[in-house]
A = this chain, B = another copy of it.
Amino acid sequence: MLMPRVIALRPAQVQIDACRGCSVREAALFGALSEAGLSLLHTDRMPIEALDAPADHLIYRLGDAGSAAFTVREGLVRLERISEGGRRCIVRVAGRGELIGAEAILGERYTQDAVACTPVSLCRIPIALLERMQREEPALQLALMRRWQRALDAALTWRIDLQTGPAHHRVLRLLDLLGRHAGPDQTIWLPRREEIADLLGMALETASRSISRLRRDGVLDLLPGGRSARLDGVRLGSALAAAGVA
């Protein structure tokens, strides 16, 4: 696992326009900002950086002293912890418009590893900038806390939904959640079997059996490469209903 390489780091001037026209701006943290605030963003000495990282690259590490939070612009990021007993466990998956690493704002160390699931595009937001923006644009204050609350709350819900009930039901619920981050034509990111196991607290083989069964049932159609699949929303829905969930 390597540190993410900065594949594309655009100069500040270009970045202003990138933000203004950003596809996730309304959804993202700075959606609350005025135009004036927006231009402030990029005259700062610590500018927002746009960075891309390939799949499986480490974005930040648990325990690192955080100097930035990140907004996910494109792709999926997973947040992992090591539980007591050394078991790795995926706490949450963050998609478009979501904020990760916000604990850095408190001057605390990151409480998870953040790893790219797919190739991702991120905006790196230095905490120094966040602190300044909080002073100058009070609207950001509330937006930030709200987003933060939602992030941690989502992590909790995620854990609760995905850790209870029989193994196959948990897999169904996971696919349901992944389906919400689906690309066009229902293409979803399909984790490796070991990752599914870590997400759902089960053995790797159990995850495999479950996926195989779903493939046979026509719910899932694996795409070449093994990391993505086409999801039949209707069949998933009826499978969920049959399982007595949702």
Interface size (A, Cβ < 8 Å)? 32
Residues A85 and B145 in contact, CB atoms below 8 Å apart: no
This chain: copies in complex = 2
9 additional contacts (CB under 8 A) given A106-B146, A108-B146, A155-B156: A83-B161, A91-B156, A108-B149, A149-B152, A152-B153, A152-B155, A156-B156, A159-B163, A164-B201
Residues A84 and B246 in contact, CB atoms below 8 Å apart: yes
Minimum CB distance partner of A102 in chain B: B149
In this assembly, does A37 line the interface, its C-beta being within 8 Å of a C-beta of chain B? Answer: no
Residues B164 and A89 in contact, CB atoms below 8 Å apart: yes
The interface centre, meaning the residue of A161, A164, A246 with most chain B CB atoms within 10 A of its CB, is A164
Which of B87, B103, B148, B149 sits near A164, CB closer than 8 Å? B87
Residues B163 and A163 in contact, CB atoms below 8 Å apart: yes
Residues A84 and B152 in contact, CB atoms below 8 Å apart: no
In this assembly, does A142 line the interface, its C-beta being within 8 Å of a C-beta of chain B? Answer: yes
Question: What are 8 A-B interface contacts by the 8 Å CB criterion?
Answer: A84-B161, A89-B160, A103-B149, A108-B146, A152-B152, A159-B159, A159-B163, A163-B163
Those of A92-137 within 8 Å (CB) of chain B: 103, 105-106, 108, 111
In this assembly, does A184 line the interface, its C-beta being within 8 Å of a C-beta of chain B? Answer: no
Contact flag A145-B111 (CB < 8 Å), given A152-B156, A156-B91, A245-B84: no
